[in-house]
């Protein structure tokens, strides 16, 4: 046990928690005024839902003793056998702290998906979806990559802080959700522009701040790898913000605030799997490329015509895939002996990364689709047309965001 590491991960855990309210602000500002609370609520209440599930069985399914390289068993249910001494996942911090740190990741992942079905989902259906998705998709995929005995981790897939588990996973689910839900009423006809961009930029700022806990904290130790992860995170994020606005400036004539915030997020997503494996210069390339390709992905969405309302696919899906592959390219044993990528003479790593990406997408797409269909025939996914016009704040929660 090391008190320095413990103090560091305690703080990192609290920082990652703050990302979910940050996401609530980010998403809340992007929707129309009549849906600001419902959108905020979908992120905020996830803090409640997942905390409870995690205690009861979630942590155990994700990190419990391995069953068939696919999922954990129930030995850690109700956090039995998860104590205040170092456990199987860290030699220097209490097992329970690792569990708390991982809980924050489990919370933000389903919250990310809410951007895809924003402004049209029934609240009870949302609750059911979050519980089922977290149980049937997040926990297994988390086990594959990070659980002891999980097949992707055993294969040598590099995912420092959750590019595959969190971003590709939620991005793939978001694509399915956008297609299953269909477009918002009036999409393409009515104006659906963001109602409060300062709120969105504030949210992006909180996400950026919390992400230092997310990435540096994933070192689980207040040491050199945490420092590397913090610096690569900062560089990639700054680069992403810059290249996104440069790209839109070229293509559409104006650099936008929302573009800067979105580009920063794209950079954050892209560096996540590689944060502790690549050099700061590689981080610059990873972030810079992410800003451009995520921007192009978001533009392509408007052309293709599916309504991923808040661009979860374009930012988290595309940025996550790029980040996972780029980690296989840029991982450098000079900075972290645990990872050796293509440029370090290990082309096999890129193949392993691609396998991780592919498997996660296929699994997430199929299971998300089944879950959404089950909820649709039982509870019904979508609010009525009248309710959608009136807004979810009033119809789902009987309150309004602004009484001015």
Footprint on residues 194-233 left by other proteins (CB under 8 A): 194
The reply on whether position 242 binds other proteins by CB under 8 A is: no
Tokens linked to 81:
């056998």
The reply on whether position 302 binds other proteins by CB under 8 A is: yes
8 Å CB contact between 287 and 237: yes
What torsion, rounded to 10 degrees, do the Cα atoms 359, 360, 365, 370 define? 90
**CB-nearer residue toward other proteins: 60 or 200:** 200
8 Å CB contact between 361 and 313: no
The reply on whether position 356 binds other proteins by CB under 8 A is: no
Least distance (Å) between residue 185 CB and other proteins: 17
Backbone angles phi, psi at 59, to 5 degrees: -60, -40
- Residue tagged 């009423």 (tokens): 185
Element of type H or E holding 396: helix 392-397
The reply on whether position 193 binds other proteins by CB under 8 A is: yes
Tokens linked to 384:
């009525």
Give the contact letters, 31-70, x = binds to other proteins (CB under 8 A), - = no: ----------------------------------------
Considering only residues 5, 95, 159, 248, which one is a binding residue for other proteins as defined by CB under 8 A? 248
The reply on whether position 3 binds other proteins by CB under 8 A is: no
Helical residues (DSSP H) of 156-253, grouped into ranges: 169-181, 197-217, 224-252
Dist. CA 134–CA 114, nearest whole Å: 13
The reply on whether position 311 binds other proteins by CB under 8 A is: yes
The reply on whether position 398 binds other proteins by CB under 8 A is: no
- Residue tagged 């849906």 (tokens): 35
**Number of residues counted as binding other proteins (CB under 8 A):** 17
Q: Which stretch binds other proteins (CB under 8 A): 217-225, 252-260, 322-330, 391-399?
A: 252-260
| Contacting positions for other proteins (CB under 8 A) | 191, 193-194, 248, 251-254, 256, 258-259, 262, 295, 298-299, 302, 311
């Amino acid at each position: 046990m090391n008190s320095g590491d413990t103090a560091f991960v305690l703080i990192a855990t609290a920082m990652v928690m703050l990302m979910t309210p940050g996401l609530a602000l980010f998403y809340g500002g992007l929707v129309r005024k009549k849906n600001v609370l419902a959108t905020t609520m979908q992120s905020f209440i996830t803090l409640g839902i997942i905390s409870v599930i995690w205690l009861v069985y979630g942590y155990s399914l994700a990190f419990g003793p391995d069953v068939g390289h696919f999922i954990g068993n129930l030995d850690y249910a109700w956090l039995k056998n998860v104590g205040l001494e170092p456990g199987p996942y860290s030699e220097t911090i209490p097992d329970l702290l690792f569990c708390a740190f991982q809980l924050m990741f489990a919370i933000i992942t389903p919250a990310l998906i809410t951007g895809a079905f924003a402004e049209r989902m029934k609240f009870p259906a949302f609750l059911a979806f979050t519980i089922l998705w977290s149980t049937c998709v997040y926990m297994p995929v988390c086990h594959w990559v990070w659980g002891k005995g999980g097949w992707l981790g055993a294969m040598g897939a590099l995912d420092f802080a959750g590019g595959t588990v969190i971003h590709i996973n939620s991005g793939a689910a978001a694509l399915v959700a956008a297609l299953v839900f269909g477009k918002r009423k009036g999409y393409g006809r009515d104006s659906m522009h963001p109602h409060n961009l300062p709120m969105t930029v504030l949210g992006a700022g909180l996400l950026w701040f919390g992400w230092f806990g997310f990435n540096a904290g994933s070192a689980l130790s207040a040491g050199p790898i945490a420092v590397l992860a913090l610096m690569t995170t900062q560089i990639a994020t700054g680069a992403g913000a810059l290249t996104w606005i440069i790209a839109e400036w070229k293509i559409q004539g104006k650099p936008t605030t929302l573009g800067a915030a979105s580009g920063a997020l794209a950079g954050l997503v892209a560096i996540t799997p590689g944060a502790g494996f690549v050099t700061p210069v590689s981080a610059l390339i990873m972030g810079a490329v992410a800003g451009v390709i995520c921007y192009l992905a978001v533009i392509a969405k408007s052309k293709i015509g599916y309504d991923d309302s808040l661009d979860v696919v374009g930012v988290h899906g595309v940025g996550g895939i790029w980040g996972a592959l780029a980690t296989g390219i840029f991982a450098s044993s000079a900075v972290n002996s645990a990872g050796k990528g293509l440029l370090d003479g290990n082309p096999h790593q890129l193949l392993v990364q691609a396998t991780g990406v592919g498997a996660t997408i296929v699994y997430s797409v199929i299971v998300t689709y089944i879950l959404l269909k089950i909820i649709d025939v039982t509870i019904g996914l979508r609010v009525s047309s009248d309710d959608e016009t009136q807004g979810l704040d009033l119809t789902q929660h009987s309150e309004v965001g602004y009484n001015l």
